[in-house]
C-alpha cells in the first residue's frame, strides 16, 4: 500500500519535472516561432496577430520576397557569407598550424610561447587601442579588418593543443619513419584523428563570424560592406526602415505598402537566424556528443 | 573578449578533459633535428598575436596622452585618469557594471545547475534530447537577434508578455523603455540565452558521477531527493566552484554585446556599463584618450580578477581557468 502511494507520488514528481522543463522549452522556442509565423502571415492580418501565435494568419511570402529582393539585404547576405567563409578558413588553418607546433612537447621555447598566448587572454587593452591599430595598418573600410580580428582565438587554440597532445606518439613516430615531414604528419595523421574537435572549432568560428556585428560596425564605414547583423541592427534596433527597405524597393514590390514594420522585423530576424539553424544540428552532433563521451571517459 | 567565449572554452575543455596518454614522452622530438618547419607554422599566428594583441597594448599609451589629429600626441601623465575618477558618469557606469554582474551572479548562475538536475531526472532519452536541443539554441544567436526577439516579445502593443499580463487584467508595460525594469530585462535575456547551454556543463559533470554511488544510495533506501542532495550535488560541487570562480574572474565583463543592443536612450543610465561607455565616449564622441583610460582601468582590474580566479581555482579544485 505504502509502495503504491510512493509510485503515485513519484509519477506526480516526474510530471512536475517534465512539465517545468517543457515550459522552459516553450519559453525558449515560442518567441522565435512567433516571429516565423508573423513573417509568413498575410500582411493585412499581421497587426491583429497574437504574440502567442505560432502558425501564420493566412499565408503569404510577401515579406520574404520584399526582403530577399532588396539590394541592401542581398548585399548584407553576400558580405556575411564572404566574411564568414573566408574568415573561418583562415581561422581554422592558422589555429591548427599553431596548435600542432605548440602540441609538440619538445619544441624549444614551448613554455614561453604558451605564456605569450595566455597573456593575451589575461590582459585586454580595450576597444580604442584596437581601433587605432586597425587604423594605423590602413585596414579601416577593408574586409581584412573584420576577417583578421580573432584570427587565432587563444581559447580555441589551447583546446586544440590539448586534443593534438592526445594523438598517440607511436602514430607520429611511424609517420616520421615513413619520411613524412611536419606538414604531412599534421595533414595525414593528426587532423584525421582529431576531426570532431576540428569540426567543433570550425563551427564555433563560423557562428562567431556570422554573429559578429561590432567590429564590422566600427571598422566598415561604407554601409555597402556591412554584414547582415549590422543591417539587422540598423533595421530593427535603430528603426531605420526607409533607407533600409528603400523607396525603390517599396514601390517595385506590389503590395509592399501594407507590410507592417512588425512583419518586416520578424522576417529580417528570421533571415539572420536561418544559417545558424542550418548548422545547429551539426553543432549538437559534434559538440554535445563530444561533451558526453568526454565526460563518460573522464 | 567576451564572457561568452570564455564560457565556450570552458565547455570545450570538458571534451578535452580526458586523461593524458602516457606516451607523450616517446621521443619523436629527439629525431627531429631541425624544428624550423614548426616555427614556420607558428609564424603567421605569432605575427597575428603581436600585431593584434601586443601592439594594442603599446597603443594604450594614448590613455596618458592628449590625442592630436595632426602631429604627435602630447604626454599628459595621469590627467585622463583624474578626469575619469572625478566624473560622476564614470562612477555610474562602474556601479552599473558591478550591479549587472552581481544580478547575473545571483539570478542567472544557479539556473543552469537546477536545469541540469531536472534534466537528469528525465528518464526517456528521446524526450531528454529534445529538451536539451531546444534550450541550447539561443546560445548561438547574436545579441542583435536576441534584442530583436525581446523587443518583439516585450512590445506593449503586440508582445506576448503583455498579452499574458492582459489576461490578469494588468495594463501593458514597456519593459524595454522603463528604467525600473530594464536591468531585469538584461538578467532575464541573459538567462534565456545561456542558462540552457550552461546546463550542459553541469549535466556532463553529473554524467561523470560513478553510478555505483547511486546504487549504494538506493540500497540505503534513499529517494529521489535524497539522492540528488547526497550524491548528485556533491558530485558536481567542483564544477560549480570552478564556474563560480570563473564568473568572479570575469566580473568586469557585464556583457557589452548584450547591453549595447538592449540599450535605448530612455534607459541608458540604468544599464550603461564600462564597455559601452568606452564605445560611446571614444568612438562616438571622439574622446579617444579618456575612453582609452576607462578601457585600461577595466583591463587592469579584469586582469587582477582573472589571475586571482585562476590561482584560487587551481588551489581549490586543481583545475585553473586555462
CB B36 within 8 A of CB B52: no
Q: Residue A127 and residue A125: Cα distance in Å, rounded? A: 7
Q: How many angstroms separate the Cα of B253 from the Cα of each of A134, A265, B75, B275, B306?
A: 23, 29, 29, 8, 11
Residues of B in contact with A218 (CB under 8 A): 283
Confidence check: pLDDT of A163 > 70: yes
Q: Which helix (H) or strand (E) holds B264?
A: none
Q: How many CB pairs under 8 A join A and B?
A: 334
CB A170 within 8 A of CB B26: yes
Residue B66 three-state SS: strand
Mean pLDDT for the stretch of residues A10-37: 95
Q: How many percent of chain A have pLDDT more than 70?
A: 88
Q: At what angle do helices A195-211 and A289-297 cross, to 10 degrees?
A: 140
C-alpha cell at B269: 543610465
Q: Residue A258 and residue A172: Cα distance in Å, rounded? A: 66
Cβ distance A116 to B44 less than 8 Å, yes or no, reads no
Residues of B in contact with A159 (CB under 8 A): 9, 12-13, 15-16
Q: What is the DSSP string of B198-229?
A: HHHHHHHHHHTS-HHHHHHHHHTT--HHHHII
List pLDDT tens digits, range A84-104: 999 999 999 999 999 999 999
Cα dihedral sign for A35, A37, A40, A44?
Answer: negative
Q: B16-39 as b/e, with b when 16 or more CB fall inside 10 Å?
A: bbbeeeeebeeebeeebeebebbe
pLDDT at A261: 83
Q: Residue A31 and residue A52: Cα distance in Å, rounded? A: 8
Place of cell 539561443: B138
If you average pLDDT over each of A257-261, B69-73, B216-220, which comes out highest?
A: B216-220
CB A79 within 8 A of CB A217: no
Higher local confidence (pLDDT), B5 or B208:
B208
Cβ distance B130 to A284 less than 8 Å, yes or no, reads no
Q: What angle do CA A126, A131, A136 make, to 5 degrees?
A: 135
The CATH number corresponding to B81-139+193-317 among 3.30.70.3000, 1.10.3720.10, 3.30.1300.10, 1.20.1290.10 equals 1.10.3720.10
Domain ranges of chain A: 1-60, 62-298
Reported as a pLDDT band with limits 50, 70 and 90, residue B14 is: low
Reported as a pLDDT band with limits 50, 70 and 90, residue A8 is: confident
> How far off is chain A from B307, nearest CA to CA, in Å?
7
Confidence check: pLDDT of B85 > 80: yes
Q: A86-115 as b/e, with b when 16 or more CB fall inside 10 Å?
A: ebbebbbebbbbbbbbbbbeebeebeebee
Cβ distance B292 to A152 less than 8 Å, yes or no, reads no
> How far off is chain B from A63, nearest CA to CA, in Å?
17
List own/partner pairs for A18-25 with CB under 8 A and 24 or more apart. Answer: A18/B122, A18/B127, A20/B118, A21/B115, A21/B118, A21/B119, A21/B122, A21/B131, A22/B131, A24/B115, A24/B131, A24/B135, A24/B196, A25/B130, A25/B131, A25/B134, A25/B135
- Using DSSP bridges, classify how beta strands B74-75 and B65-66 pair: parallel, antiparallel or unpaired: antiparallel
| Of the partner residues B8, B37, B141, the one whose CB lies closest to the CB of residue A276 | B141
Cβ distance A130 to B52 less than 8 Å, yes or no, reads yes
Residues of B in contact with A148 (CB under 8 A): 48, 52
Distance, CA of A237 to chain centre: 20
| Of the partner residues B17, B32, B145, the one whose CB lies closest to the CB of residue A269 | B145
> How far off is chain A from B109, nearest CA to CA, in Å?
16
Cβ distance A27 to B192 less than 8 Å, yes or no, reads yes
Residues of B in contact with A193 (CB under 8 A): none
Q: How many angstroms separate the Cα of A256 from the Cα of each of A40, A180, B144, B158?
A: 14, 62, 25, 21
Cβ distance B8 to A204 less than 8 Å, yes or no, reads yes
Cβ distance A295 to B159 less than 8 Å, yes or no, reads no
Q: How many angstroms separate the Cα of B307 from the Cα of each of A124, A283, B247?
A: 13, 31, 12
Q: How many angstroms separate the Cα of A279 from the Cα of each of A183, A232, B18, B67?
A: 29, 20, 27, 45
> How far off is chain A from B153, nearest CA to CA, in Å?
6
Chain A residue closest in CA terms to B198: A288
How deeply is A139 buried, as exposed, middle or buried, from its count of CB atoms within 10 A (0-12, 13-18, 19+)?
Answer: middle
Q: Is A2 on the interface with B (CB under 8 A)?
A: no
> What CATH number should be reported for the domain whose range is A62-298?
1.10.3720.10
Residues of A in contact with B42 (CB under 8 A): 97-98, 101-102, 113
Q: How many alpha carbons fall within 13 Å on the CB side of residue B14? A: 29
Cβ distance A236 to B151 less than 8 Å, yes or no, reads yes
Q: B223-245 as b/e, with b when 16 or more CB fall inside 10 Å?
A: eeeebbeebbeebbeebbebbeb
Q: Residue B101 and residue B254: Cα distance in Å, rounded? A: 5
DSSP B75: E
Reported as a pLDDT band with limits 50, 70 and 90, residue B3 is: low
Q: Is A285 on the interface with B (CB under 8 A)?
A: no
Domain ranges of chain B: 28-77, 81-139+193-317
List pLDDT tens digits, range B255-304: 999 999 999 999 999 999 999 999 999 999 999 999 999 999 999 999 99
> How far off is chain B from A254, nearest CA to CA, in Å?
26
CB A297 within 8 A of CB B18: yes
pLDDT at B46: 96
Q: How many alpha carbons fall within 13 Å on the CB side of residue A213? A: 23
DSSP A61: -
Cβ distance A25 to B135 less than 8 Å, yes or no, reads yes
List pLDDT tens digits, range A43-70: 889 988 999 999 999 999 999 998 998 8
CB A97 within 8 A of CB A77: no
List pLDDT tens digits, range B138-186: 999 999 999 999 999 999 988 999 999 999 999 999 999 999 999 999 9
Q: In sequence order, what are the beta bridge partners of B75?
A: B65
C-alpha cell at A96: 591548427
> How far off is chain B from A259, nearest CA to CA, in Å?
16
Q: Is A221 on the interface with B (CB under 8 A)?
A: no
Chain B residue closest in CA terms to A164: B16
Amino acid at each position: 500500500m505504502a509502495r503504491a502511494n510512493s509510485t503515485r507520488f513519484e509519477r506526480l514528481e516526474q510530471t512536475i519535472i517534465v512539465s517545468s522543463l517543457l515550459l522552459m522549452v516553450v519559453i525558449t522556442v515560442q518567441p522565435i516561432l512567433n516571429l516565423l509565423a508573423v513573417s509568413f502571415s498575410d500582411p493585412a492580418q499581421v497587426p491583429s496577430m497574437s504574440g502567442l501565435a505560432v502558425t501564420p494568419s493566412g499565408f503569404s511570402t510577401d515579406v520574404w520576397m520584399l526582403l530577399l529582393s532588396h539590394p541592401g539585404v542581398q548585399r548584407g547576405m553576400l558580405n556575411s557569407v564572404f566574411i564568414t567563409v573566408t574568415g573561418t578558413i583562415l581561422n581554422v588553418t592558422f589555429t591548427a598550424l599553431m596548435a600542432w607546433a605548440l602540441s609538440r612537447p619538445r619544441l624549444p621555447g614551448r613554455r614561453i610561447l604558451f605564456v605569450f598566448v595566455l597573456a593575451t587572454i589575461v590582459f585586454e587593452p580595450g576597444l580604442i587601442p584596437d581601433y587605432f591599430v586597425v587604423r594605423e595598418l590602413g585596414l579601416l573600410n577593408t574586409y581584412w579588418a573584420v576577417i583578421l580580428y580573432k584570427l587565432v582565438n587563444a581559447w580555441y587554440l589551447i583546446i586544440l593543443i590539448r586534443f593534438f597532445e592526445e594523438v598517440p606518439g607511436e602514430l607520429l613516430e611511424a609517420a616520421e619513419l615513413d619520411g613524412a615531414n611536419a606538414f604531412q604528419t599534421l595533414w595525414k595523421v593528426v587532423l584525421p584523428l582529431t576531426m570532431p574537435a576540428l569540426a567543433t572549432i570550425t563551427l564555433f568560428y563560423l557562428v562567431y563570424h556570422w554573429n559578429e556585428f561590432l567590429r564590422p560596425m566600427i571598422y566598415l564605414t561604407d554601409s555597402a560592406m556591412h554584414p547582415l547583423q549590422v543591417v539587422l541592427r540598423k533595421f530593427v534596433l535603430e528603426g531605420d526602415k526607409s533607407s533600409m527597405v528603400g523607396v525603390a524597393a517599396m514601390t517595385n514590390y506590389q503590395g509592399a505598402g501594407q507590410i507592417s514594420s512588425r512583419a518586416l522585423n520578424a522576417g529580417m530576424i528570421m533571415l539572420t537566424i536561418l544559417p545558424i539553424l542550418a548548422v545547429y544540428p551539426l553543432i549538437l552532433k559534434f559538440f554535445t556528443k563530444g561533451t558526453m563521451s568526454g565526460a563518460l571517459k573522464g | 573578449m567576451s564572457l561568452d567565449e570564455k564560457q565556450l572554452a570552458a565547455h570545450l575543455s570538458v571534451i578535452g578533459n580526458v586523461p593524458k596518454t602516457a606516451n607523450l614522452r616517446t621521443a619523436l622530438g629527439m629525431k627531429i633535428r631541425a624544428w624550423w618547419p614548426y616555427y614556420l607554422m607558428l609564424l603567421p599566428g605569432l605575427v597575428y598575436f603581436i600585431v593584434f594583441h601586443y601592439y594594442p597594448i603599446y597603443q594604450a599609451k594614448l590613455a596618458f596622452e592628449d590625442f592630436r589629429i595632426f602631429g604627435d600626441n602630447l604626454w599628459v601623465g595621469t590627467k585622463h585618469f583624474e578626469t575619469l575618477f572625478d566624473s560622476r558618469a564614470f562612477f555610474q557606469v562602474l556601479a552599473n557594471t558591478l550591479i549587472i554582474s552581481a544580478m547575473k551572479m545571483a539570478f542567472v548562475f544557479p539556473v543552469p545547475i537546477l536545469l541540469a538536475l531536472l534534466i537528469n531526472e528525465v528518464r526517456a532519452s528521446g524526450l531528454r534530447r529534445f529538451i536539451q536541443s531546444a534550450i541550447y539554441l539561443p546560445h548561438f544567436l547574436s545579441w542583435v537577434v536576441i534584442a530583436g526577439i525581446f523587443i518583439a516579445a516585450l512590445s506593449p502593443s503586440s508582445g506576448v508578455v503583455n498579452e499574458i499580463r492582459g489576461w490578469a487584467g494588468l495594463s501593458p508595460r514597456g519593459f524595454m523603455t522603463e528604467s525600473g525594469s530594464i536591468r531585469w530585462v538584461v538578467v532575464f535575456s541573459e538567462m534565456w540565452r545561456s542558462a540552457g547551454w550552461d546546463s550542459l556543463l553541469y549535466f556532463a559533470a553529473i554524467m561523470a558521477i560513478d553510478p555505483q554511488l547511486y546504487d549504494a544510495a538506493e540500497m540505503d533506501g534513499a529517494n529521489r531527493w535524497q539522492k540528488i542532495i547526497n550524491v548528485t550535488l556533491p558530485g558536481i560541487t567542483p564544477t560549480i566552484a570552478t564556474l563560480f570562480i570563473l564568473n568572479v574572474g570575469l566580473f568586469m565583463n557585464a556583457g557589452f554585446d548584450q547591453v549595447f543592443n538592449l540599450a535605448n536612450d530612455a534607459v541608458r543610465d540604468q544599464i550603461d556599463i564600462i564597455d559601452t561607455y568606452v564605445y560611446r565616449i571614444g568612438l562616438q564622441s571622439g574622446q579617444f584618450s579618456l575612453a582609452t583610460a576607462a578601457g585600461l582601468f577595466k583591463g587592469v582590474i579584469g586582469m587582477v580578477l582573472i589571475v586571482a580566479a585562476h590561482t584560487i581555482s587551481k588551489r581549490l579544485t586543481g583545475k585553473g581557468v586555462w
